[in-house]
Amino acid sequence: LLAGEVLALALPRARIAMLSGPSFAHEIAEGLPTAVTLAAGEESLALALCKALGSAAFRPYASTDLIGVELCGAIKNVIAIACGIALGHGLGENARAALMTRGLAEMTRLGQALGAEVTTFLGLAGIGDLALTSTSTQSRNYSLGLALGRGQTLLEATRGGKVLDVACGRCRHALLLASAGFDVHAIDRDEDAIRFLQATADRLGLSLSCEVVDLEAETVPALPGPCDAILVFNYLHRPL
């Protein structure tokens, strides 16, 4: 499910809108010129929000393509990480250009299959955001890929929390639960992800324990003791 679909299930009476585009937050805060796409299921809502949020330096463009805007905002992050890996590994600018171009084509085909509009991928939410995220070291996704391409592990690449929220989505969910006061135990077969998650939780003083477990055997690991939530990651290929 896309974010908008999840919101529609959780808040069936809500009027949902999505904003996406090439926009580093600190530049917006500094009043530097920025243009984004603002999509809503109702054109009148999109136009009203654009009017309410727009300013001399911040220009939202209205759209009714919620699916396209959501897909662009998610998939461009993956392509940006790949671009960073390519540059970090010394594969050159030609490789980055190829990744961006073919990545955009793949984004567009997926969007068409899901009912999105092609023009969304050729606009600010698509090529605009992809260009910014895949070329600037201010981008956390690109910076993560760059570090990985230079040989750093996930834990080393994310030390200091710069790319905490994009480095490992599953880690974020565990940290959010722990931040809300739950006792959480996380299980994953990715040792780097677990080390990163445990180190971050310890640094933040959160009640979260982690365990590296290989579930290739048809067994479920023993429970660590009383806890509020057990998160099992990276095992979608094998039912528990």
Cβ 17 vs Cβ 125: under 8 Å: no
Catalytic: which of 76, 96, 140, 185?
A: 76
- Angle 157-135-24 (CA atoms, 0-180°, nearest 5)? 85
Catalytic (active site) residue 76 = yes
Write the Ramachandran bin of 161: left for phi over 0, alpha for psi from -120 to 50, otherwise beta: left
Give just the sign of the alpha carbon dihedral 75, 106, 68, 51. Answer: positive
Which of 84, 193, 194, 78 shows the shortest CA–CA distance to 148? 84
Question: Known catalytic residues?
Answer: 76
